Amino acid sequence: MLGMVSVYNSDEHTVIEGSGISEWLERLVKGDPRREGCLFLLRYGKLGVFCICEWVGGGRDTFVDVMNLGESLGNFGHKEAQELRKRLFAPVTAEVTSRAIIGNDSDFYHRLQDEDMEETERRERVAVGE
């Protein structure tokens, strides 16, 4: 769900209008030519969860989940509002993503080297008869 592109289906999805969160979302992106009118609150009928979503592609049929709020709108507080602002207006750059991937790869290969050294030492001890 999160970050996945979905097609709106009125049998499965309900757009929540007139709630405090919906109005806050409108104020959040007011004046932003790219996002104004694109953020909305949605409830997945089958899953029973609420999500903040964004219309994509210029129409009102395709959307992306931006933040999952769980089964209650009461889960949306100051911390979640800050996280949403960060996701919308300060997204992770390609450089940061690249550094994270390189760091994880480096950690993985260092672990493999350490395991290989330990296995080599173990084999040497076995060969000596320890």
Residues 6+ apart with CB under 8 A from 39: 25, 26, 28, 29, 52, 53, 54, 66, 88
CA angle 54, 23, 21 (to 5 degrees): 75
Q: What is the pLDDT of residue 114?
A: 85
Determine contact, residues 63/8, Cβ cutoff 8 Å.
yes
Distance between CA atoms of residues 126 and 44, nearest Å? 59
Determine contact, residues 70/50, Cβ cutoff 8 Å.
yes
Determine contact, residues 19/27, Cβ cutoff 8 Å.
no
Q: What is the pLDDT of residue 2?
A: 60
pLDDT in tens, the chain (130 residues): 467 788 998 899 999 888 889 899 988 888 888 888 888 999 998 889 999 999 988 778 899 998 888 898 888 899 999 988 888 887 677 777 778 788 778 788 888 888 888 888 888 888 888 7
